Amino acid sequence: MIPLTPGGKSYSDIVSETNTKTTPQTTTFTDPSTKITYNVTQAQSDALNALQKTTNGTGIPTDTTSQLAYQAVIATTQNGPAMTPVTNPAAAPPAAAPPQAAAPPAAAPGGTGCGTPQDFVIIANRKLGLEWDPTTCLFKYAPPPAAAPPAATAVGTLSCNATPNVIKAGDTTTFNAIGGTAPYTWGIPTGPKIGNPVTYTTTVNSPSSSNVSVGSGDGQTASCLITVNGTIATGPAPAPAAVVPPAAVVPPAGTIALTLSIGLDGVGSVGDIKNPGASDRSNKNPRSPIQAIIHISDNKADVPGGTISGVSLAFDSASGRYAGTANIPAAITGAHDIRIQVPGHLIRKLGITTGAAQTLSDKNLTAGDVDGKNSLGVVDHGILVACWLKGASDSGCGNLSQDADLNMDGRVDQLDYNLFLREFNGQDGE
């Protein structure tokens, strides 16, 4: 309810007070808009005087809500037996006629003869959920009609398929239902299953065919055929094949092997720049392999022969990092910086050349360098948003959608954008 008076009375409180017809007439009230003075009950007088306090000094409410309430009280009291006009200063009253018996008011349909309020009063009350009840001569709360149930959605005829529908003994297939409504109940040979899709692993020992039935929640039924070829082998399980260790990687002549294990923020076991160990939001199944560039440099300038492109890094699910090997020319002697560059990430210094094979495995790369300028800024942000919202073909993306795929999941979406926001603080690469 909306309070209308300084005392906190609501519209429905005021109307309720004015509906009381048994209170004795104890005072008078003059309507400022018509200059008519009425005999009123004390409750009606209190309600009208309270509403007048919301005016700007004219005695007539100025805001729409108060006007409706004021007019409703006036009209409601006029329709009740406790309200009687006394004077009209605008015109002298005619000579009094001999008193006559008053004719009873016309009875409302099905009512008790109290009449019907004016239309604007009924409309004003209806806006507040109140309807006039002619049997009690009161405005009463009328709950809104219940909403009609939504129209049934066409679901189509139920059908099903098995992918694949020709399998070998011991293999697994997946059943899919099309049309109908959930829940779906399947007559799988090994026992009923509920859901969609569902899987089935054969246990037969000879070739056979089966019609697998499915029923939908709306009462439809269908079936799909699977064919099983071959038999399940019996007897002792075959001995596992011997595991052959991978051959040692021998670097090409004239090179030194640099073994890498690199973490990418937002991927695998790596979190972000602020919380590198919190990987719960990181992509555990990234695209692989990726290409990196190794820079052998002094003061960020590559030495002759020190730019090694096309270094392949494959994702290692055990460690949650990317691993690979780079071959550094043995002709590069002395101590130089080893830096790594992965598209979409800031360049990071890994260590110092030693003239011998070595392993570097404790560095993570910061994601977000979409434009390849070795810094994170508003340009990277703009390209990322364009690739996400408009697609790779948009000029704002500039065919950099793969570099904007910061979490390496094969698409640019809100996950990449959120990772960029966690990484961004205006920093440059090393």
Looking at the structure, tell me whether residues 339 and 396 fall in a common domain: yes
| Dihedral pair phi/psi, residue 360, rounded to 5° | -125, 120
Looking at the structure, tell me whether residues 321 and 205 fall in a common domain: no
Q: What is the pLDDT of residue 135?
A: 77
Over residues 305-317, the mean pLDDT reads 90
- Alpha-carbon distance of 30 to 59, in angstroms, equals 10
Over residues 51-71, the mean pLDDT reads 57
Query: Which domain CATH number covers 324?
Result: 2.60.40.4130
Using pLDDT thresholds of 50, 70 and 90, give the confidence band for residue 112.
very low
Burial grade of 32 (CB within 10 A; 0-12, 13-18, 19 or more): middle
Looking at the structure, tell me whether residues 132 and 163 fall in a common domain: no
Looking at the structure, tell me whether residues 289 and 205 fall in a common domain: no
In a domain, residue 35? The reply is yes
| Dihedral pair phi/psi, residue 76, rounded to 5° | -65, -40
Looking at the structure, tell me whether residues 333 and 406 fall in a common domain: yes
Q: What ranges in 253-400 are assigned the alpha helix state H?
A: 378-389
Q: Last residue of a domain, which of 229, 264, 280?
A: 229
Looking at the structure, tell me whether residues 295 and 213 fall in a common domain: no
**Model pLDDT for residues 371-399, shown as the tens digit of each residue:** 989 998 888 888 888 888 877 777 778 77
Q: What is the pLDDT of residue 171?
A: 82
DSSP letter at 92 equals P
In a domain, residue 306? The reply is yes
Looking at the structure, tell me whether residues 163 and 136 fall in a common domain: no
Looking at the structure, tell me whether residues 409 and 261 fall in a common domain: yes
Looking at the structure, tell me whether residues 53 and 193 fall in a common domain: no
In a domain, residue 98? The reply is no
Q: Are 237 and 175 in contact (CB under 8 A)?
A: no
**Model pLDDT for residues 134-184, shown as the tens digit of each residue:** 776 766 666 666 666 555 444 689 889 888 888 877 788 888 888 888 888
In a domain, residue 148? The reply is no
Q: Half-sphere exposure of 109 toward its Cβ, with a 13 Å CA cutoff?
A: 1
In a domain, residue 250? The reply is no
Looking at the structure, tell me whether residues 221 and 268 fall in a common domain: no
Tell me the residue range of the domain where 265 lies: 255-423
Using pLDDT thresholds of 50, 70 and 90, give the confidence band for residue 269.
very high
In a domain, residue 386? The reply is yes
Q: What is the pLDDT of residue 223?
A: 86
Looking at the structure, tell me whether residues 321 and 379 fall in a common domain: yes
**Model pLDDT for residues 170-208, shown as the tens digit of each residue:** 788 888 888 888 888 888 877 778 888 888 887 665 677
Over residues 11-26, the mean pLDDT reads 51
In a domain, residue 246? The reply is no
Q: Give the pTM.
A: 0.44
Q: Which residue has the higher pLDDT, 90 or 37?
A: 37
pLDDT at 270 over 90: yes
In a domain, residue 234? The reply is no
Looking at the structure, tell me whether residues 399 and 275 fall in a common domain: yes
Q: What is the pLDDT of residue 88?
A: 46
Q: How many domains does the chain have?
A: 3
What are the residues facing 37 on neighbouring strands? Answer: 30, 87
